[in-house]
Amino acid sequence: MHYEKSIELLLKCSTEKGFVASAQDISNYKRVWARDGVICGLSALASGHRELIKTFKNTLLTLAKHQHEVGTIPSNVGVLKKDESVSYGGLAGRVDAATWFVIGVCQYANYTNDFAFFNDLKPKIYKVLQLLNAWEFNNKHLMYIPLSGNWADEYITDGYVLYDQLLRYWAIQSFNYLENDQSLSNKLIQIKNQIKANFFPNSNKEKFHDRAYNAIKIDSFLPCSFSPSGYKTNYDAFANALLLILDFGDKKFKNKLIDYSLELAESTKLGLLPAFWPVIKPNDQHWDLLKDNCKYEFRNYPYEFHNGGSWAMVNGFFGLGLLKQGKTEQAKKILKNIDKVNQVEDYKFYENFNTKTTEPNGVPYCAWSAAASVLLTQSIKQQIKFI
């Protein structure tokens, strides 16, 4: 029942130009978004549903068509005749639109064996990779991300954001799986070495910011970001899920990360991971940074949205990380709780939930909430492995 309802919503969010973020025309959600579209596309591949896979291809073509001359991939593109505008970001550009695009093209081509499609888009991917290199600024293999520069667009992360470094690694890894370029193989090693040096505990390698690194303690999870002003040590569920999916770190650390994450999820009424933890409250250090980082209305109240809210989508990737580490039973439990929140109000598929009260937040009929269920269900059932 849960799976069928999820497929039904993804079909409702399918258009000729690709997946839209929500089945309802709310705010700017009736648009093809890069990250939402690719995440829905990955679930389409996992499902094997022909119509959804076709929508995924159209999503990628829409994004490719509107690539900026400097290489930027659109954050989102309008699909309605009344609004066919292209956005590369709001208060700041969206770095993860570019990395999700590369991941999407490569995963689609590998799954469908459509290498003509891959070859057609290869020049656009190389343009993206060149841009990602430029975004390092100091040529030291980690990108510098502006505040509001990724999916957590109203949160406090900036500078060298772990989530974006891992996505970039996955994007290059996916592309190089098909391309087999030695220079990209070398780049992957350099990126991984810098992630390990600057984010992992007990690193004896040269770091970007030794003084700031030595001022914090890294134990059961990695800090979410650092910048010239120091480290932000909040737990980032999406980043740490990607860490497990990409199999970064030794077994001892990964086990500590899994234990911490499962204990955190189990401590909540929803049984799901909050996006970031702990929550930032009015008297906390970063409250002013958080409350001012919104273009329209403030949504990051404690326990909501990025500020400790629980997202089905994020937990779907956590479930994939658990599967990667052989924790199938734990992944099944996360899936059960994802389906439980997705079915609230007769399958409204809300964007996220208040972790403290369990009340729904954000937009209903959210495509990637459904995608989380499909992706994790099929990965458990068929042991699907993406590049």
Domains of the chain with CATH codes: 2-382 (1.50.10.10)
Burial label for 367, CB within 10 Å (0-12, 13-18, 19+), is buried
CA distances from 387 to 102, 109, 249 (A): 12, 11, 19
- In the prediction, which pLDDT does 295 show? 84
- In the prediction, which pLDDT does 353 show? 98
Report CA Rg, the chain. Answer: 19
- In the prediction, which pLDDT does 80 show? 77
Two tokens, residue 36:
């939402």
Q: Where are the beta strands (DSSP E) in the chain?
A: 14-15, 18-19, 31-33, 76-78, 86-87, 160-161, 225-227, 230-232, 235-236, 276-277, 352-353, 360-361
- Closest C-alpha among 305, 335, 306, 337 to residue 319: 335
- In the prediction, which pLDDT does 384 show? 78
pLDDT tens for the chain, residues 1 to 387: 899 999 999 999 999 999 999 999 877 888 999 999 999 999 999 999 999 999 999 999 999 999 999 999 999 999 877 777 999 998 899 999 999 999 999 999 999 999 999 999 999 999 999 999 999 999 999 999 999 999 999 999 999 999 999 999 999 999 999 999 999 999 999 999 999 999 999 999 999 999 999 999 999 999 999 999 999 999 999 999 999 999 999 999 999 999 999 999 999 999 999 999 999 999 999 999 999 999 889 999 999 999 999 999 999 999 999 999 999 999 999 999 999 999 999 999 999 999 999 999 999 999 999 999 999 999 999 877 798
Q: In terms of pTM, does the model score above 0.95? A: yes
CA distances from 339 to 259, 316, 342 (A): 22, 10, 5
